[in-house]
C-alpha cells in the first residue's frame, strides 16, 4: 500500500470516527444518513464516497456492523468456534487479514536489563486508523500505538518501556511496516506477508495475548470466552488488565474483545477507533 493511499485512508478514518461518535450519541433515535452527514459537515454523496473508499461498503452497511445485535450474533458464532478449539487443544499463531503473525516472549533477564544493548528503531506513519508510532528491534516489532495529537507522549512511553535501549528514528521504515500490516488484497494463492512480534510482559499476559492471536479477523470474543481460550476461565478481570497492558495495538487484536452485552467497552486507543476497527474488519470479511 503506497504512502499516498495510507495518508488518504487516515484522513477518511478521521471522518468515520466523528460519524461513529455522533451515531453513539444519537443511537436511541437512529439518525438518518442525512443527519450523520450534516454532523460531520459533508454532503450525503461525499459521506457515501468516504465510506466506500475507506471500508469498501456503504455507510448503511457499515452501521449494521456497529449494532449490538450484530455484536451478539458474532459472539455466538465465536463461542461455537472457540469451544471446538479449546476442546481440541489447538493453539498457535493466528492469521490477521492477509498477514501471518509469529511472536516470541522476552526472557525475564532481558526484561530486567531494560533494553540495555538493544537498538530500537521507531517512526510515525499513517494507517487506516490514524497516525501510529511503531518501534522494532532486530528481532521484530515491539511497540505500536495509535496517536491522537499525543505522539510525544507515546514516544515517552516507548522510552520508559526500554529505558536503557538506544532509540533511533526512521519514519520511512515505519511506513514500510505499516504497508505490510495493512496490505493490499492479494491473490488467494499468494503467500501472506509475515511479521514477527517481540512480547514484553508477564507469563499470564503473554498467554492472553497469544490466545488473542488465535482470534481470526472479523471474529469477536467476550472477556469470558477469551479467558477460557487462554485456559483461565475464572480470570476475566485479570484478562482485562492484560488487554490494557498490550503495547502492540491492532497486531495483538485486543479490539476484538467486547462485553457479553454486545457493548464494545473501553479501549486503550479510543472507543470510536475500536468500533471502527471491528466494523472495518467485518466489511473485509463480507467483501
User: Quick one: how far is CA 4 from the chain centroid?
Assistant: 21
SS3 content of the chain, % helix, strand, coil (to 5): 50, 15, 30
The DSSP result for 1-36, as a single string, is --HHHHHHHHHHHHHHHHHHHHHHHTGGG---HHHH
Q: Out of 103, 142, 147, 254, which one is annotated catalytic? A: 254
User: Among candidates 189, 224, 229, which has minimal Cα distance to 212?
Assistant: 229
> Can you tell me the distance from the alpha carbon of 268 to that of 156, in angstroms, rounded to the nearest whole number?
16
| Residue 217 near residue 285, CB atoms below 8 Å | yes
SS3 82: helix
147 has catalytic annotation: no
Long-range contacts of 205-209 (CB under 8 A, 24+ apart): 205/242, 205/245, 206/105, 207/231, 207/232, 208/239, 208/242, 208/243, 209/103, 209/242, 209/246, 209/248, 209/252
CA dihedral 111, 175, 144, 195 (to 10 degrees): -70
User: Among candidates 129, 137, 130, 121, which has minimal Cα distance to 172?
Assistant: 121
Under DSSP, the state recorded for 184 is: P
Helix (H), strand (E) at residue 40: none
> Can you tell me the distance from the alpha carbon of 96 to that of 217, in angstroms, rounded to the nearest whole number?
6
Q: Which residues are catalytic?
A: 254
Amino acid at each position: 500500500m503506497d504512502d499516498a493511499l495510507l495518508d488518504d485512508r487516515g484522513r477518511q478514518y478521521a471522518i468515520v470516527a466523528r460519524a461513529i461518535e455522533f451515531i453513539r450519541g444519537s443511537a436511541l433515535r437512529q439518525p438518518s444518513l442525512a443527519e450523520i452527514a450534516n454532523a460531520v459537515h459533508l454532503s450525503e454523496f461525499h459521506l457515501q464516497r468516504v465510506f466506500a473508499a475507506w471500508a469498501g461498503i456503504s455507510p448503511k452497511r457499515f452501521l449494521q456492523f456497529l449494532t449490538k445485535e450484530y455484536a451478539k450474533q458474532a459472539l455466538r458464532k465465536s463461542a461455537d468456534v472457540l469451544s471446538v478449539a479449546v476442546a481440541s487443544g489447538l493453539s498457535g499463531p493466528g492469521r490477521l487479514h492477509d498477514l501471518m503473525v509469529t511472536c516470541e516472549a522476552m526472557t525475564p533477564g532481558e526484561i530486567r536489563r531494560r533494553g540495555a544493548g538493544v537498538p530500537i528503531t521507531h517512526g510515525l506513519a499513517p494507517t487506516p486508523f490514524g497516525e501510529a508510532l511503531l518501534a522494532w528491534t532486530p528481532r521484530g516489532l515491539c511497540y505500536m500505538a495509535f496517536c491522537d495529537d499525543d505522539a510525544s507522549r507515546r514516544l515517552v512511553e516507548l522510552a520508559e518501556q526500554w529505558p536503557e535501549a538506544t532509540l533511533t528514528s526512521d519514519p520511512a521504515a515505519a511506513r514500510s511496516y505499516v504497508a505490510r500490516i495493512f496490505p493490499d488484497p492479494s491473490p488467494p494463492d499468494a503467500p501472506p506477508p509475515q511479521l514477527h512480534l517481540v512480547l514484553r510482559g508477564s507469563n499470564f499476559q503473554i498467554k492472553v495475548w497469544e490466545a488473542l492471536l488465535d482470534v481470526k479477523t472479523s471474529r469477536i470474543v467476550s472477556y469470558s470466552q477469551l479467558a477460557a481460550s487462554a485456559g483461565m476461565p475464572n480470570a476475566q478481570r485479570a484478562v482485562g488488565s492484560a488487554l490494557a497492558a498490550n503495547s502492540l495495538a491492532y497486531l495483538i487484536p485486543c479490539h476484538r474483545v467486547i462485553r457479553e452485552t454486545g457493548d464494545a467497552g473501553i479501549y486503550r486507543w479510543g472507543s470510536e477507533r475500536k468500533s471502527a476497527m471491528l466494523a472495518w474488519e467485518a466489511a473485509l470479511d463480507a467483501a
